[in-house]
Copies of this chain bind each other. A is one copy, B any other.
């Protein structure tokens, strides 16, 4: 008897964890991803602010799978699922058969149908986003240095970050430090006091998943760093030269960063499986897709419900779901009944830059320097690979001591360099 063939779509936190849990077990695993790396998304904002290199947070999937002879990887984008034939369909038209399927394709940026914003804003969801954003920020400073008119200079030095979740808060803080600590030495011709960073959040406070006191603390820290926090504000439209808020206010700004919305991967719709109102794939209490015995969905693409609500699109949720799905696949293959999944929260944390973070770890709330140390330690531990930990730690130490962001190169694209200077 051959081992059951498990296909996992997506090498993010859910998919990779699931593959590792199935390593050296009696199944044949094929992991598919359209990128050849696993991305450590919590530090993406540091790539976008010239502090880390892409390779510091992008770990080759094949290296992560070494030592697991029953797990293979294939670089492929999955475009659909043939439920009847039990095959996954890739974008080049080839078909991959499965006995069990784990959909872990994650989420993408949602612009809520705001077309102008989608056209002009930069997102911060994948590695290419982060490199594009880094290039745009550095290009904005260069353009400001070249600008003949004061109004033009001011527009290049104005950055609007939309979304008061961890990504928006962390990026606004990092951007402020980049401008006021590192760029100030590169651009003696610019007055960095005229740099304006707006953080626009529709809700009444930032970091809605944290305690209200921690949200207030984060806001104060951001304001101390010169970030102008606009609560209860929504972006309604955008042009290359600025952003229009609901109510009519116009902000002259050359750079718009959008961290305000996510939606499940397009594969959720393309797979032809039942979906919840949020667009995520509906799963039962065992993380099987509703109506399917052999298809599981985990992480951002799946609508795992607990206490009457969908679990948020976060890493701990994806990883715990991955473990449960792996266990239930092994049980099903052995003819045993599935075990129900229950998410257990250990806390949340976000950093606002140098020496400042907020964290809730179980019953303990941390902020300021202790929160920041906890944040540093946790993120260092979570990185894959000794070399990455070492290099990231060195990068952080360098920045801490020297106030220097070493990766200040506009490097991604020749065409964009040409077009946008």
User: Which chain B residues lie closer than 8 Å to A406 at the CB level?
Assistant: 55, 387
Question: CA–CA, A387 to B402, complex, Å?
Answer: 11
Establish whether residues B37 and A75, one from each chain, have CB atoms under 8 Å apart when the complex forms.
Answer: no
When C-beta atoms are compared, the residue in chain B nearest to A60 turns out to be B408
Establish whether residues B418 and A77, one from each chain, have CB atoms under 8 Å apart when the complex forms.
Answer: yes
Question: Quick one: which of B55, B72, B138, B387 contacts A53, CB cutoff 8 A?
Answer: B55
Name the distance in Å between A399's Cβ and chain B's nearest Cβ.
Answer: 11
Name the distance in Å between A187's Cβ and chain B's nearest Cβ.
Answer: 7
Establish whether residues A34 and B128, one from each chain, have CB atoms under 8 Å apart when the complex forms.
Answer: no
Q: Is A398 an interface residue (CB 8 A)?
A: yes
Establish whether residues A146 and B74, one from each chain, have CB atoms under 8 Å apart when the complex forms.
Answer: yes
Establish whether residues B60 and A409, one from each chain, have CB atoms under 8 Å apart when the complex forms.
Answer: yes
Q: Which of A90-136 contact B (CB under 8 A)?
A: 91-92, 126-128, 131
Establish whether residues A58 and B127, one from each chain, have CB atoms under 8 Å apart when the complex forms.
Answer: no
Q: Mark A30-73, 1 if CB is under 8 A from B, else 0.
A: 00001111000000000000000111001010110010010010
Of A34, A36, A53, the most chain B CB neighbours within 10 A belong to A36
Establish whether residues B66 and A409, one from each chain, have CB atoms under 8 Å apart when the complex forms.
Answer: no
Establish whether residues A92 and B421, one from each chain, have CB atoms under 8 Å apart when the complex forms.
Answer: yes
Establish whether residues B91 and A417, one from each chain, have CB atoms under 8 Å apart when the complex forms.
Answer: no
Q: Is A271 an interface residue (CB 8 A)?
A: no
Question: CA–CA, A414 to B413, complex, Å?
Answer: 11
Establish whether residues A410 and B146, one from each chain, have CB atoms under 8 Å apart when the complex forms.
Answer: no
Question: CA–CA, A410 to B38, complex, Å?
Answer: 11
Q: Is A142 an interface residue (CB 8 A)?
A: yes
Q: Is A220 an interface residue (CB 8 A)?
A: no
Establish whether residues B35 and A410, one from each chain, have CB atoms under 8 Å apart when the complex forms.
Answer: yes
How many chain A residues touch the partner (CB < 8 A)?
Answer: 52
Of A74, A91, A408, the most chain B CB neighbours within 10 A belong to A408
Establish whether residues A75 and B185, one from each chain, have CB atoms under 8 Å apart when the complex forms.
Answer: no
Q: Mark A389-414, 1 if CB is under 8 A from B, else 0.
A: 00100100010000010111111111
When C-beta atoms are compared, the residue in chain B nearest to A65 turns out to be B186
Q: Is A327 an interface residue (CB 8 A)?
A: no
User: Which chain B residues lie closer than 8 Å to A408 at the CB level?
Assistant: 36-37, 60, 62-63
Question: Quick one: which of B35, B58, B62, B411 contacts A417, CB cutoff 8 A?
Answer: B35
- Supposing A142-B36, A189-B72, A421-B91 touch, asked if A407 and B77 sit within 8 A by C-beta, the answer is no
Q: Is A139 an interface residue (CB 8 A)?
A: yes
Name the distance in Å between A44's Cβ and chain B's nearest Cβ.
Answer: 13
When C-beta atoms are compared, the residue in chain B nearest to A55 turns out to be B407
When C-beta atoms are compared, the residue in chain B nearest to A38 turns out to be B409
User: Which chain B residues lie closer than 8 Å to A394 at the CB level?
Assistant: 391
Q: Mark A143-178, 1 if CB is under 8 A from B, else 0.
A: 101100000000000000000000000000000000
Question: Quick one: which of B63, B187, B387 contacts A398, CB cutoff 8 A?
Answer: B387
- Supposing A76-B146, A142-B75, A387-B398 touch, asked if A34 and B409 sit within 8 A by C-beta, the answer is no
Question: CA–CA, A75 to B60, complex, Å?
Answer: 34
Question: Quick one: which of B63, B127, B146, B404 contacts A186, CB cutoff 8 A?
Answer: B63
Question: CA–CA, A63 to B66, complex, Å?
Answer: 40
Given contacts A35-B409, A63-B186, A391-B391, 7 further A-B contacts (CB under 8 A): A36-B410, A53-B54, A54-B411, A55-B411, A58-B409, A387-B404, A391-B394
Give chain A's interface residues, CB within 8 Å of chain B: 34-37, 53-55, 58, 60, 62-63, 66, 69, 72, 74-77, 91-92, 126-128, 131, 138-139, 142-143, 145-146, 185-189, 387, 391, 394, 398, 404, 406-414, 417-418, 421
